[in-house]
Each structure stands twice: as C-alpha cells, then as structure tokens.
Amino acid sequence: MVPHPTRARTKDPALRSYPFPYTAWLVLSNDPDNTLYADWQELDRVIWNEIGLPFADSLFFRSYNKNLPDQVDLFGHPEILNKHPHDTIHTWGDYLFGGSRGFERDDAVRLVDQAKTLHFKPRVWVDHSTFAGNLLHHHPYGSMPEINDASGHKYPNPLYSLDLIQEIGVRYIWDGTIIPTLGQDRPLPWLTYHLERTGSRKQAVVNLAKHKVGEVMGVGAGFRAQFKDNAAYRPHRFPDGRMFYTFQRHGQWQKADIDGLGDILAPSRIDRLIATGGVCIAYTHLGKRPAGRMGDRQHIPNRTRQGLQHLRERHIERKVMLSPLSHLLDYLVLRDNITVDLKNKGILFHADGIAFSSVDQKTLAGHTFSIRSQGITPEQWVVKGTEGRLTPRIEQNDSRCATLHFDL
Ligand SMILES: [Zn+2]
C-alpha cells in the first residue's frame, strides 16, 4: 500500500545528508528564455564538454514568441535534446506574444505524444513568465479542470493540463518563488533566515518580532506564510487533487542571466555552501545576457566561466556534489523515505507515493546513500525495497560510515 503523504518525511538520523564525503549539493535550474542558437552552441561546448559539468538542461518544445523569433526550441532544433541531458520543460512552449497562436489543451495532448516518440521523459516542470497554462507562478489556471463564474456557471478549462504534465513524467514543479538563502535542506534558525532574506539586521529583527508576535496572537498568517521552512522540496496538492512535489530556486531575479550567474556561483559563495552544508538549486537563464552586451562575440563572460571551473574543481575534490536537478530531487525523496533498523541491521526503502509508486533496483540505479554504520559491517546489512531484497555494492568509508552504491 503506497502512502499518500501531505507533508515531507524527515531523514532517518542514521543517514548522512549526502553521499560520503560530500557536505553540499548544487544543481542548475535553467530557463531557456531568449537563447539564440549560436549562444546555445557555446553553452553546450563550454559547460557540458570543455568544463564537463554533469547538469541537465531545460527546453521549450515550441516558441511562438514574436518578440524573440530566433529563440531556440526543440521544434526548430531537434538536435539539442541529445547533445546534453534535459530533465525539465519550461511549460509546453513559449506562447507569450504569439499573436493569434494561443495555448490550449490540445497542444499539450500532441506534445505528450511527441515526447513519447522521442523517448523524452521530463521529470521537472518550471512555469514560464505569465504563460496562461502556468500552475503556480502568477496564477493556477493550468491546474484547474473547471472554471466557475460568479453566477454559478461551470465551464471546462481549456488551459488545464496537469493530468498531461503528470502523464509525460513530471513529478517536481517549481513553486514560483526564489529564495535568497544559500543552502536549503538544513535547519536554519529564524533570525538567520530573516537576516539572509532581508540582508539587513534591523529588518530581520523586525520581521522576526512580527513573526513571533503573530504566531502567539494568531494574527498575520499572510505575512508568516511568505516565510517557509528551509526545505528543498515539499508535497503539494493541486485543485484537481493531484499530488506533486514543489521546490524553490536559489538566486535573485535581477541576477538570473549568464552574467549574474557569475555572482551566484562566485567561488567564495560555493565555498560558503560547502562550509555550511546544504542544497543549492541555482536559478538562471543561461541563454540570456544583459541588453548592453548583445554585441559581444563571447556569450559566457570570464567571471561566470571561472565560477563554473571552480565548481568543477570542488566537485573533483568531492566537496560539492553536482547532478541534474531531477537526480537531486529524486535522491532527497528516496533518502527521506528510508528507515534504518540498527538493531536488525536493516535498511528499508519505502515508496513515497508521489515520485515513486515502488522502489526496486532499477529505481535506485545511479543513486548513492551513506549511512552511519555504528560498527555494522557491509555484509551484515539487509537492504530491502518495496519489491523485496536489494543488492547494492556497500563500501566501508571509515569506521563510522558506509556507502550504498546502486550502480547503473
Ligand atoms: Zn521563462
């Protein structure tokens, strides 16, 4: 029986947060807006080939945007899909400023078929600007099967496609917010949270006071609702009853281009992330540059390139884990649904019911989990999933830690 959670589980204390010896994990969450093909080629060459970072990318199936006639999409450039990994769709396409070419559900029906033909299984959905079919960013029309008017009339909603988003394979949805705090998936005292959010000690103290007083007096729920915990993902029930996970992205709205990425990935910040620990889902538009720099031959500025190279070095030193966004989110969900029975030397993987309906050897392929082994030797562990016994390769890292490798 698969559980139907309404809130995220928490990690078993016997598990390390991340595979040994990593303390931090960083992924890119790129939106493909404004990307010109020549710049796409430079990004592919530098990030995925020359520097060789194991990130996944996002794409538009189709762009109808008349303001950006040369914006890269899968329709115009089918070769992009397999040049480097893609795990995210930036909605069903760019229908903004598309003239008479508006979006409707039939477009999504067709695109699900096309994705199946291409063996493309995106696991992440990111809302785009004010797209009519968005789920959480600006409005929820894409998630509402019906529209009700004030006089009680009900109409089928031609913008609804959440069932098709699930059918295409999506399990994780951006919640429409950006978090300035560096390092999610770690406990964060409220004062630190408000300090990092506001950047001002005075404002942080005011916010914290409002927060605490509001909590006691039962007022200001709207204010308090703006401040979430520091979780990397959360279960979310949509108006049609479907459950997905949502996630926030780290960054700043005004730094979400290829130049701003140099600030977000500055070596000092990455080293701070490694020191404090936690997860960073870095928000960016790799294909976008400041308007004043459109004449430059080089798309990626040196500072951003240096940040990416520094990331690579820290990854090779096994300080910061890098991966596709979907791999990180899958890891966190799987990790938080493990129970460790030290007495019986058992490690049990449970299905969470949203991202996974079962957990077997195939589900876990490519994943690694580390456990505080408390003197238990690798051959003593009994590891089970929902379909029975699992056979990871278990490596003893030191006297206190062992790592389960589910090799591809
Ligand atoms: Zn966008």
Confidence of residue 213 (pLDDT cuts 50, 70, 90): confident
For residue range 338-393, list pLDDT tens digits in order. Answer: 999 999 999 999 999 999 999 999 999 999 999 998 889 999 999 999 999 999 99
Q: How far is ligand 1, taken at its centre, from the CA of residue 30, in Å?
A: 9
What is the spatial distance between Cα 74 and Cα 83, in angstroms, rounded to a whole number?
A: 12
pLDDT at position 1 over 60: no
Per the listing, tokens 């429409």 go with 176
d(CA 143, CA 132): 11
Distance 127 CA to ligand 1 centre (A): 7
Residue 94 Cα to ligand 1 midpoint, Å, equals 8
Distance 284 CA to ligand 1 centre (A): 10
Mean pLDDT, residues 19-41 taken together: 98
**Dist. CA 258–CA 268, nearest whole Å:** 18
What distance in angstroms lies between residue 34's CA and the mean position of ligand 1's atoms? 9
User: What pLDDT was estimated at residue 226?
Assistant: 66
* Distance between Cα 128 and ligand 1 center (Å): 4
Residue 96 alpha carbon to ligand 1 centre in Å: 10
8 Å CB contact between 269 and 299: no
Please tell me the distance between residue 267's alpha carbon and the centre of ligand 1 in angstroms.
Answer: 27
Quickly list DSSP for 184-241. BSS---HHHHHHHHHS-HHHHHHHHHHHHHHHHHT--HHHHHTS--S-S-EEEE-TTS
CA of 118 to the centre of ligand 1 (A): 23
- Dist. CA 80 → ligand 1 center (Å): 18
Stretch 273-292: mean pLDDT: 97
What is the dihedral sign for C-alpha 83, 88, 92, 94?
negative
Give mean pLDDT, residues 63-70. 95
Question: In the predicted model, what is the mean pLDDT of residues 206-215?
Answer: 81
Q: How far apart are CA 35 and CA 393, in angstroms?
A: 42
Span 283-295, mean pLDDT?
A: 96
| Gap from CA of 285 to ligand 1 centroid (Å) | 8
Of the given ranges (12-26, 44-58, 76-90, 206-220), which has the lowest mean pLDDT? 206-220
- CA distances (Å), origin 144, targets 18, 131, 141, 172, 359: 37, 14, 5, 18, 31
**CA 59–ligand 1 middle distance (angstroms):** 10
Quick one: fold of 24-188+229-317? TIM Barrel (3.20.20)
Q: pTM of the full predicted structure?
A: 0.93
Ligand 1 center–CA 368 separation, angstroms? 32
Average pLDDT over residues 45-58: 98
Read off the pLDDT band of 211 (50, 70, 90): confident
Give residue 104 CA to ligand 1 midpoint distance, Å. Answer: 18
Q: What separation in Å is there between the alpha carbon of 129 and the centre of ligand 1?
A: 5
Q: What is the largest CA-CA distance in the chain?
A: 69
**pLDDT value at position 10?**
85
Q: Residue 200 above 70 pLDDT?
A: yes
Q: What pLDDT, on a 0 to 100 scale, did the predictor assign at position 217?
A: 78
pLDDT at 228: 73
Tens of pLDDT along 158-168?
A: 999 999 999 99
Give dist(CA 21, CA 234) in Å, integer. 26
* Cα 93 to ligand 1 centroid, rounded to whole Å: 9
Percent of the chain with pLDDT over 70: 97
SS3 272: helix
Rounded to the nearest whole angstrom, what is the distance from the C-alpha of residue 32 to the centroid of ligand 1?
A: 7
Residue 165's closest CA among 122, 102, 114, 104? 122
Could you tell me the distance, in angstroms and rounded to a whole number, from the CA of residue 60 to the centre of ligand 1? 9
Ligand 1 centroid, distance to 356 Cα (angstroms): 28
| Residue 173 CA to ligand 1 centre (angstroms) | 14
- End-to-end, the C-alpha distance of the chain in Å comes to 27
41 alpha carbon – ligand 1 mean position (Å): 19
Dist. CA 146 → ligand 1 center (Å): 25
| pLDDT at residue 215, rounded to an integer | 79
pLDDT score for 167? 98
Distance between Cα 90 and ligand 1 center (Å): 7
Compute the distance from residue 124 Cα to the ligand 1 centre, in Å. 14
Distance 359 CA to ligand 1 centre (A): 33
Contact, 240 vs 144, CB < 8 A? yes
Looking at residue 3, its pLDDT comes to 46
Cα dihedral 104, 109, 112, 118 sign: negative
Residue 8: its pLDDT value, please?
Answer: 58
The stretch 29-53 carries a mean pLDDT of 98
Query: Which of 325-363 are b and which e, b meaning 16 or more Cβ less than 10 Å from the residue's Cβ?
Result: bbbbbbbbbbbbbbebeeeebebbbbbbebbbeebbbeb
Report CA(381)–ligand 1 centroid distance (Å). 46
> What does residue 155 show for φ and ψ, rounded to 5 degrees?
-130, 145
% the chain with pLDDT above 90: 85
- For residue 327, report the distance from its CA to the centre of ligand 1, in Å: 22
Nearest alpha-carbon partner for 394 in 403, 385, 407, 406: 403
Distance from Cα 168 to the centre of ligand 1, integer Å:
20
Q: Is the pLDDT assigned to residue 107 strictly greater than 50? A: yes
Give the per-residue pLDDT at 205: 82
Tens digit of each residue's pLDDT (9 = 90 or more) over 72-104 = 999 999 999 999 999 999 999 999 999 999 999
- Give CA–CA dist 55/44, Å, rounded: 11
Between the CA of 33 and the centroid of ligand 1 the distance, in Å, is 5
Ligand 1 centre from 326 Cα, in Å?
A: 18
Q: Of 200 and 20, which is predicted with more confidence?
A: 20
